[in-house]
Amino acid sequence: MGNNFLSAQDTLYMGSSADPQLIYVHKCYIEGDTDFICGQGATVFDMCEIKVVSIRRKDTGVIFA
């Protein structure tokens, strides 16, 4: 596995609409709680594992795409 990104909030920022980006993320592990993947860049996650770790709620987590 490549890089590991572990954080509660704002872990990976994918750019703003003022400066559109195309982002390719390959073979990584991403873990977080709130808005841990954020921004407005077009992103491809290839062979990545994404895990929601809910700090406030022990039994649930939500991912919006």
Q: State pLDDT tens for residues 2-61.
A: 799 998 888 888 888 888 789 999 999 999 888 888 888 899 999 999 998 877 766 666
Pairing assessment for the beta strands 29-32 and 49-52 based on DSSP bridges? parallel
Break the chain into its structural domains and give their ranges.
Answer: 4-52
Name the E strands within 7-53.
12-13, 22-26, 29-32, 37-38, 42-46, 49-52
Nearest to 6 by CA among 28, 31, 29, 23: 31
| pLDDT at residue 44, as a whole number | 94
Alpha-carbon gap, residue 42 to 57, rounded angstroms: 29
Residue 13 CA, distance from chain mean position = 8
The tokens of 1 are what? 């596995």
